Amino acid sequence: MREMALVYLDRSGGLQKFVHDCKKYNDSKQSYAVYRFIISINPSDIAELDAALGNYILHNPIQAAQIFQSVCFIAIKTLSLIEQLQTEAQITVLLKPSHLPPLPSYILSLSAFPFNYTSQRFYMCEGIVIAMGTVTKYTQGARFLCTEGTCQYSEGFRYIRVHMPGATESATVRNDFVCGLCSSPLQEDMKFRVLGDKQIVEMIDAKVLNALKGYSSDKSHFRSQAFTVFLR
């Protein structure tokens, strides 16, 4: 699937954009623990190119991103695109689909039972925004070092923490991580922290509009529950 991912990037123009993004990182004077790449994908085109890869992206996007992560790392090393990059863990890839299949199983509806949305795959969701929070910062990635000076992990990029979809801030940055080699505490190297913007949005299902218009499809009682969306 790595080979087909590379073929798709080449045919779709994604590889050219990736090289351009690498050049911006390479020319920057800022130190990075994590290099973040957003890769636009067309699920239909990928499914036609390779059905297994297309299905994997739609239903296991986090694991599929790791395939593109590996491809990006090999490309960077082969073409010497980012001189500062040392390990594959320093690359984080966000897959951004242009659309999803127009099928009911890909639509997230919080007004329908049962709420059987346990998989971490892509869904489409439509609703009405009723409240928006201010834009704040969150940690996209951080570098940690072993506090034991004689440990080989007291330098380099062995311990990289990257924000994963659905994770809290404490899953990326906190002060109780320990070294897997010598069990000494880990300390964050603050100059390598990578920040991003996040915003919290409260949404409500679009079907509530019928209630706001003053009529209902039946005479039974009902309630509307807002749900929270994190925009990162």
User: With pLDDT > 90 as the criterion, what percentage of the chain qualifies?
Assistant: 70
One domain for residues 158 and 73: no
Tell whether 152 is covered by a domain: yes
One domain for residues 150 and 61: no
- Which residues form the domain of 145? 139-195
CA distances from 163 to 13, 95, 168, 175 (A): 27, 14, 8, 16
Q: What is the mean pLDDT of residues 120-140?
A: 91
Tell whether 134 is covered by a domain: no
- Number of structural domains in the chain: 2
Helical ranges in the chain per DSSP H: 2-12, 14-27, 43-49, 51-59, 61-79, 169-172, 209-212
Each residue of 52-77: pLDDT tens digit?
Answer: 999 999 999 999 999 999 999 999 99
pTM of the predicted model, to two decimals?
A: 0.85
Report the CATH number that the domain containing residue 11 is assigned in CATH.
3.30.1640
